[in-house]
Amino acid sequence: MPDCQTVLLIEDNPGDARLIREMLGDESQLLFRLECVERLSHGLEYLSKQSTGLVLLDLSLPDSFGVETFLKVFAHSPKVPIIVLTGNDDQTIALLAVKTGAQDYLIKGKLDRELLLRSMQYSIERKRYQEQLEFHANYDALTRLPNRNLLHDRLRQSVFAQRFVRSIGVVFLDIDHFKFVNDSLGHNTGDKLLQCVAERLTEAVRDGDTVARLGGDEFILILNDQPGEEIIYRAMQRIIGKVAEPIQVDGHELMVTCSAGISLYPQDGPDVETLLKHADTAMYRAKANGRNNFQFYTVEMNQHVNERLQTENSLRRALERREFEL
């Protein structure tokens, strides 16, 4: 491990703390720098102020006891790997801590230098690997925006977390003529354009809103806690205008526009799938209206789509049945 990691030991027994410090002496100091506190409250305070690579945690402290000790540290700093230190009689509690998020547990009476170092290195690497898996499961690799999976979770949270009924705007946004950019300038330039658009969309919304990428040139925006359509209308004017500003990519000045459709919770749908479907329908209406604009979903749009689908199906069946006459 090339970097020296700060290790926080939360342990109230001076003898156990001294033993661990001795185990991490000599050449292991190039890998780990040990900091010690005796109370959970002091440990949480340290974690709030200092970057920490690992926590060695005694479950029996003057101000906290048992698995609750671990849960408090885990809730405070979920990204910091934690190794639980336990006595011979507390292995059941230690196993419970591992099941709920601890990376490992060590029995104090059976602890030696080699075991401690191996457990610390393993725990840091394992936590890093878990974070990578979690990132790839929830974020788009190209733009680093939330992907479809995380988008659905965010939208569900937005819907269920409402204490007062205020509109949530769900925006389905598509870059106009993106295929032309890919075909004429190449996929590498197209990818860079997507990254630029993702950055602009993120800058154009508020901190509590969400910008996600579904794939291709399709983006979803969740505009939370909106007092009315007029506010969303002005926000969309700003967003559409921001995307349309000239973009420099690989020496090319690109002028791109986007089309967007908007559905509103709760009036346009009670659930995630319905809201996304209706926003998609509205986006296609924006495309049909000449692109570089946005449309709010209406019931009439759905009726029009259903009528068109019915007509297409009827024409297909008529062709199969040879019902056309010249």
Cβ pair 109, 87 in contact under 8 A: yes
Tell which phi-psi region holds residue 216, choosing left (phi > 0), alpha (psi between -120 and 50) or beta. Answer: left
**First CA to last CA across the chain, in angstroms?**
78
Tell which phi-psi region holds residue 252, choosing left (phi > 0), alpha (psi between -120 and 50) or beta. Answer: beta
Angle at CA 124, nearest 5°, toward 122 and 130?
Answer: 95
Tell me the chain's radius of gyration from C-alpha atoms. Answer: 28
Active-site residue set: 217
Cβ pair 77, 47 in contact under 8 A: yes
Identify which of 284, 100, 22, 285 has the alpha carbon closest to the alpha carbon of residue 84. 100
3-state secondary structure of 306: helix
Identify which of 146, 296, 117 has the alpha carbon closest to the alpha carbon of residue 214. 146
Q: How far apart are CA 271 and CA 219, in angstroms?
A: 19
Cβ pair 38, 16 in contact under 8 A: no
